[in-house]
Structure formats: structure tokens, C-alpha cells
Amino acid sequence: MNHGGHDWKPEQARKSLKRLLPELEAEFSTRLEPVAFDWHRFKNRLHREWERLFSYLHELYGWQYDFHYTLERILRSLIESWLERPEDLRRLDERREAEPEWFQSQEMVGIVLYVDLFSDHLAKLKDNIPYFKKLGLTYLHLMPLFVSPHGENDGGYAVSDYRSINPDLGTMQELEEVAAVLRDEGISLVLDFVFNHTSDEHQWALRAKSGDPDYMGFYFTFPDRELPDQFQRYLRDIFPEVRAGSFTWNDELQRWVWTTFNSYQWDLNYANAEVFRAMAEEMLFLANRGVEVLRLDAVAFLWKRLGTDCENQPEAHTTIRAFNALARIAAPALLFKSEAIVHPNEVIRYVHPDECQLSYNPLLMSLLWEALATQDVRLLEHSMRTRYRLAAGCAWVNYLRCHDDIGWTFDDDDARSIGIDPASHRRFLNQFYTGEFPGSYARGKKFQENALTGDVRVSGTLSSLAGLEAALERDDSELIERAVRRITLLMGIQVSIGGLPLLYAGDEYGMINDYTYLHDPRKVNDSRWVHRCRKRWEAKEDLADLDTIEWRFFRETAKLFNLRKRLPALYNGGMEVVETGNPHLFAFLRAHAEQRLLVVTNFSETDQQLDPRFVVPWVPGGEALDHLTGTRITVTDGLMLEHHRAVWLDV
Ligand code: GLC
Ligand code: GLC
């Protein structure tokens, strides 16, 4: 609707709010009076965000006859959840609103872990806070810990109830306690928001199965193959080894159900305003438990459109922005992290202060591995030069490994522009990291080989992929040293290049692959379990123990993390790739608050020389302090870097 170019939406937005708010204020008056001052601030935020919220919701649901009802229900949910927000979280909201860029600090360092694998249950997690502190961690992501099906559950990514914790792990009250203790210790709690799908055992799915039309409307179900076949033509299979196609026949319903991932993960239908409203309530419920960052799972798949691959649709962005606006109003301390493991052009579109302030950085992750295997940094250099910059107020979450597989994401034209054939390069990388390539040190496992397209991804721990497993097996100290250096090389970049480094628990002590999943029928078909290790390292501070490989890693990791915190130049912000004239050397400049750091890294298996022409201009005095070793280095004759070594020069 366009009335002569005049944008009618702001006016209509104000009108709607004017109608709705007084009624709701009257309805909630007895609960609002005692918190009059806070309510005032809530309303300020509401007025600040309302226009955009209205416009997102209008875009998604404005065509439905009951749009005004949708607005009312959502506003009511907002007020209710805000009323339930505990006092200390409201104070946290104030602090975060006063300092919205808190997460950009170089002090931020994260870890992600499965509670059962790490500490059996929530109660014992608290005992590990000293361990976290030693590593300097400020951000703790607990992998899905909600009630989920007993059999296969995709590592918890099939959620049956967003409000209950899996009883093996603890209770919601324990989670709140953990959140509060962590908050006191300066550690932010991060949880997943698995909002693209529920498990087929969620109440909504159960009611849908029983034939309740309201709940059938929560999902995509089809009486026959007509539409599924039309959609399917454009869809990719995420787990091709498990099953072909994105639809599952359900006997109870006698219908096909849309299941992008596993057959027990039912995609939610966000074209239904009730789904949006219901999930918004779950989101705000989690925020009120003390969760400070929600990792938005599988964002790319949220919206379906016939004739497209149903990934990264514009409405997926609008939906997330609408959630973002709700959070800004009712739980402003809450941030979003996007999990979009898709083409780099698309990944970046989810990152915006109005959408997800944080995002995984799959491009950096995959290209670090790429450069390690090829010992050639040109693709990394080229891609980072052009693709690293984010909107102000946002940050990358840089990771080397996570609970998922590695897919070789990079732009094909980027590769071609430096003479790399993308398809054969990906084949090479798969062969290299699964150890098939002659001379490879890596011990990865194939993940989800697609018989039709030949695509495959790679599973494996940081250490096993970097050669430690093979080196330990051979008990060869020279090979062990090489593997250790490769790992520290990658970690050094992860903590310095800009953004929040996220450690995958276990990597701080050099965890290698765990093959026990092969004997578990619930896991054997999913090689990602090879890096979701059962084995644990008890960090006993027994001095006799300190020479072990585990301690060596632990010390290196803690050193890098803590060094990061001391260097203002590493505050999130600009990163400038610096030319080295040597295809094995990757270098970049970080600058902030009067400090400049020149980071130079050597990806080669041999020592490499940085020509004086490329380093002298950055180091006017000819000499600079290297923060990694604490020594001063003269660069007038260039710089000699041993294999897999790096320098962080204060220039
Ligand atoms: C995300 C998770 C992955 C899961 C998928 C489906 O990609 O990281 O582990 O399989 O979503 O929820
Ligand atoms: C994710 C990604 C896919 C990934 C999978 C889980 O959402 O899109 O590439 O491998 O789900 O492992």
C-alpha cells in the first residue's frame, strides 16, 4: 500500500500503540504500580522500538485479517514477561543499555561445552568456575540442555520443551543459580535458541499429531507429495547419509511433515503469527532465567518459499529482527548470535545491531584450516581483506572447532580470482583432513557424504585435525612439536584478529578424537560425535603432572587468552590485512586506543623470511616489542619466522 509515496507505517504504528497501550496498562495496573519507575523506562524502550517492530510484524503478518489481534497478543506477552523479569536482570539491562558495546572488549573470551560431557550435570558445573577463571573466560555457552527425546536427539538440538531442563542435567532452578553465580564472576551465560524446529515430542507436535488444527498450523504438513515434491526440487539435503529429502511421512497424522534436519526435528511455520508469538514467549522466558546471549540456531532455514532453496529468505531476517526488537524492549541485556553456516555473502546479512550482534565466523574458521593444509595464505588473505568488516556494534565469534562438522565455505569467485579451482580444492581439503591425501597428518572423519553431489564435510577435534593424534601414536617428539605449533598458530590468530574467540571445551588441553561413538547405536551414524568426546582431563595441579602435553596446551591457551586481555589494540574493531610478499605469511594490523599491533604468522612447514620492504614501513623505529615472547625484535633486515610461528609486534 503506497499513498503517494508517503510512508503510512509510522503513523499507523503510533495509532496502534495508542489504542493498545492504555488498555493493557489498565489491565496490568496493580502489577505496574509498584514498579512505576521501571515501567516508565520500559515504555521509553517500547516507544523507541515500536515503529520497527510494527513494520516487521506488518511485513510478516499484516496481510492476515487478525493482525491487530496479533499485535495485541505480542504486546501483552512483552509486558507479562517484562513484569516477570527478576530485579537483578533489570539492573543488568540498565548497565548494558549504558554500555551497549561491552561484548566488544578484548577482555571477552568464550568457551562452549556440553554439560554432561564436561561436568555430568549443572550442579557440578559451578565447581569448575576456578578452571574457567584461570583460562580467563567471560562467556560460557552451554550446549542444548533442554528436555529432548530419549533416543536420537541431534545432540539436544531437538527440543521437546524450552522451559524444562533435561532431568539428567538438572533443573531450571539450577540453571538460574548457575547463571547468577556466573554473572557475579563476570561470565555471561549463553544458550541455544533452537527456534527453526521443535522435536516431534514437543507439546505442540503432540497436539498436532492428535489432529488439533491450531497446532497442525505450527508446522508444515502435507496430505500428499504434490507440494513436497515441488519444494524438494530446490532444497539441499543437510544430512544426506541419514535420509534423502526434507520431508518425513508421519503415520499418526497420515501426512508429510517438513523436517529440514532429522526426521524427528519438525520445522516451525513462521508464516503463522501464533508460532512467532509462542516462540517469542519462549525466548523471553529464557532471557528471564539470566541468559545473556542466545545462539540462534539454523537461522538460514526459518522461512520457506516455493521455487527457492528456502534458505536465507528475506523474511528470515525480518523474523529475527522482530525478535531482536522484542528483546530490546523487554530484556535489553539479551544479545543474539547468529548460526548461519552458509555462503559468506549470506552469513554477513544476519549481522546487524538490529538483528544479530554476534555471528559465528565460518569463513575464517574454514580458511585457517585451508591455509594450514596448503601452507598458502592467499585465499585467506584475499577473503579476509574483503569480507571481514562488520557493521559497527557487531562482532564475529571466532572459532576453530565446534560441535559440528567443517564445511569448506568460501566464495568460489574469490578462489578463482587467485587461480584456485573451487571444486577440486574442496576435494583436496576433504582428502587432506580425512587423512587420505598422501603425507597428510590429519585424522578427520567424513561427515554426511552426499552420494549424488559428492559433497562431504569433515569431523574431528582441533588436535586430531592438526596432526597431534598421529604424532602421539608414533610417539615422535618432532611431529608432536609440529602439531602443537600448528594449533597455537591457529589459536593465536583466533584471539587477535578481532572478535570474540570461542574455545571448544577440550581444545585447551589438546583433546584428540574419541571413537567410542562407533559402539553407540544412537551415535554411530553421526561422525560429529568423534569430536564430542566422553574422555575427560582432570586438571590436577599435581606438579609431577605439569610436563604433560595437556598442561602444555592449557598453559599456551591461558597465556594467549590472558595476553589478549592486556592489549587494548585487540578491542574489537578494524582489522587491516597487511601484504607480506610471501605466500606463506599472513599478516594483519590491529589498532585501537593508541596501540597498534602487527601480527605476522607463518603457515609454512618451513622457516620463512619477511622481506624488510614489507615490515620496515610499519616499524618506524626499526625495532619493536613482540608481545608473544616479551622480547624486542629488530626488523631492519626483515623478519625470520620459524615454521608455524607468529609475532605480535607493538608498532
Ligand atoms: C545447528 C546445530 C547442529 C544441528 C542443527 C539442527 O546447525 O549446530 O548441531 O544439527 O542446527 O538443529
Ligand atoms: C547447519 C549447517 C550445516 C551444518 C549442519 C549441522 O545449520 O547449515 O552446514 O553442517 O547444520 O552439522
* 202-240 pLDDT per residue, tens: 999 999 999 999 999 999 999 999 999 999 999 999 988
Q: Residue 421: beta bridge partners?
A: none
Ligand 2 nearest atom to the CA of residue 457, by list position: 10
Q: Compute the distance from residue 258 Cα to the ligand 1 centre, in Å.
A: 16
Write phi, then psi, for 159 (nearest 5 degrees). Answer: -95, 130
The residue nearest atom 12 of ligand 2, judged by CA position, is 404
DSSP characters over 68-87: HHHHHHHHHHHHHHHHTS-H
Burial class (CB in 10 A: 0-12, 13-18, 19+), 221: buried
Dihedral angle at the C-alpha atoms of 504, 506, 512, 517, nearest 10 degrees? -80
Average pLDDT value for the chain = 96
Of 527, 528, 554, residue with least CA distance to 541: 554
DSSP class of residue 640 equals: E
pLDDT score for 591: 96
Q: Compute the distance from residue 434 Cα to the ligand 2 centre, in Å.
A: 19
Given 93, 281, 339, 469, the catalytic residue: 339
Q: Compute the distance from residue 530 Cα to the ligand 2 centre, in Å.
A: 16
Q: Compute the distance from residue 306 Cα to the ligand 1 centre, in Å.
A: 23
CB atoms within 10 A of CB 96: 18
The residue nearest atom 6 of ligand 2, judged by CA position, is 404
Ligand 2 nearest atom to the CA of residue 528, by list position: 12
Per-residue 3-state assignment (H helix, E strand, C coil) for 393-409: CCEEEEECCCCCCECCC
Residue of 197, 239, 261, 525 to mutate, ligand 1, most atoms within 8 A of C-beta: 261
Single-letter amino acid code for the residue at 559: K
Active site residue 297: yes
On the question of pLDDT at 333 being above 80, the answer is yes
* Over residues 152-158, mean pLDDT: 95
Instruction: Starting from the CA of residue 193, give the closest ligand.
Output: 1
**363 in Cβ contact with 387 (< 8 Å):** yes
Ligand 1 nearest atom to the CA of residue 402, by list position: 8
On the question of pLDDT at 579 being above 80, the answer is yes
Residues with CB under 6 A from ligand 1: 154-155, 157, 194, 261, 297-298, 339, 403-404
pLDDT score for 2: 52
Of 67, 66, 43, 41, residue with least CA distance to 54: 67
Instruction: Starting from the CA of residue 262, give the closest ligand.
Output: 1
Ligand 2 nearest atom to the CA of residue 404, by list position: 12
Residue of 112, 114, 157 to mutate, ligand 1, most atoms within 8 A of C-beta: 157
pLDDT score for 3: 54
Q: Compute the distance from residue 164 Cα to the ligand 2 centre, in Å.
A: 25
**154 in Cβ contact with 262 (< 8 Å):** yes
Instruction: Starting from the CA of residue 527, give the closest ligand.
Output: 2
> How does pLDDT run across 384-415, given as a tens digit for each residue?
999 999 999 999 999 999 999 999 999 999 99
Pairing of strands 639-641, 595-602: unpaired
Cell 568460501, residue located: 410
Strand, helix or coil for residue 59: helix
Length of the chain in residues, anyone?
A: 651
List all residues 6 or more positions away from 495 whose beta carbon is below 8 Å from its beta carbon: 109, 398, 501, 560, 561, 563, 564, 570
- The H helix count followed by the E strand count for the chain is 24, 25
Pairing of strands 139-142, 110-113: parallel
CA distance 438 to 651: 41
Q: What is the CA radius of gyration of the chain?
A: 25
DSSP class of residue 280 equals: H
C-alpha cell recorded at residue 371: 591455509
pLDDT score for 422: 97
Per-residue pLDDT band for 538 (boundaries 50, 70, 90) equals confident
**160 in Cβ contact with 199 (< 8 Å):** yes
* Over residues 585-605, mean pLDDT: 97
* Over residues 134-157, mean pLDDT: 96
Q: Compute the distance from residue 455 Cα to the ligand 1 centre, in Å.
A: 18
pLDDT score for 573: 87
Sign of the Cα torsion 140, 145, 146, 148 reads positive
Instruction: Starting from the CA of residue 403, give the closest ligand.
Output: 1
On the question of pLDDT at 540 being above 90, the answer is no
On the question of pLDDT at 42 being above 80, the answer is yes
Predicted model pTM: 0.96
Angle at 207 between CA 201 and CA 213, to 5 degrees: 140
Given 297, 376, 469, 514, the catalytic residue: 297
> How does pLDDT run across 98-107, given as a tens digit for each residue?
999 999 999 9
Single-letter amino acid code for the residue at 627: H
pLDDT score for 415: 98
Residue of 238, 360, 399 to mutate, ligand 2, most atoms within 8 A of C-beta: 238
Per-residue pLDDT band for 480 (boundaries 50, 70, 90) equals very high
* Over residues 619-625, mean pLDDT: 93
Strand, helix or coil for residue 134: helix
Single-letter amino acid code for the residue at 546: L
CA distance 144 to 286: 12
CA distance 381 to 575: 12
Ligand 1 nearest atom to the CA of residue 194, by list position: 12
DSSP class of residue 113 equals: E
On the question of pLDDT at 543 being above 80, the answer is no
pLDDT score for 537: 85
Per-residue pLDDT band for 164 (boundaries 50, 70, 90) equals very high
* Over residues 40-47, mean pLDDT: 97
Of 591, 641, 506, residue with least CA distance to 118: 506
Single-letter amino acid code for the residue at 269: N
Per-residue pLDDT band for 542 (boundaries 50, 70, 90) equals low
DSSP class of residue 568 equals: G
Cell 550435570, residue located: 121
E strand or H helix that includes residue 578: strand 575-578
Q: Residue 389: beta bridge partners?
A: none
Of 448, 529, 454, 461, residue with least CA distance to 262: 448
The residue nearest atom 10 of ligand 2, judged by CA position, is 405
pLDDT score for 526: 93
Pairing of strands 139-142, 188-193: parallel
468-484 per-residue burial string, b: 16 or more CB within 10 A, e: under 16: bbbbbeeeeeebbebbb
Q: Compute the distance from residue 287 Cα to the ligand 1 centre, in Å.
A: 21
The residue nearest atom 10 of ligand 1, judged by CA position, is 154
Instruction: Starting from the CA of residue 267, give the closest ligand.
Output: 1
pLDDT score for 174: 97
The residue nearest atom 7 of ligand 2, judged by CA position, is 298
The residue nearest atom 11 of ligand 1, judged by CA position, is 298
Pairing of strands 623-626, 631-634: antiparallel
Sign of the Cα torsion 612, 616, 621, 625 reads negative
**487 in Cβ contact with 96 (< 8 Å):** no
**209 in Cβ contact with 302 (< 8 Å):** no
The residue nearest atom 8 of ligand 1, judged by CA position, is 404
CA distance 458 to 455: 10
Of 79, 58, 69, residue with least CA distance to 12: 58
500-535 per-residue burial string, b: 16 or more CB within 10 A, e: under 16: bbbbbbbbbbbbbbbeebeeeeebeebbbbbbbbee
Q: What percent of the chain has pLDDT over 90?
A: 93
Spell out the alpha helix ranges (H) of 67-202: 67-83, 87-98, 115-119, 122-125, 129-135, 172-184
Ligand 2 nearest atom to the CA of residue 342, by list position: 8
* Over residues 285-307, mean pLDDT: 98
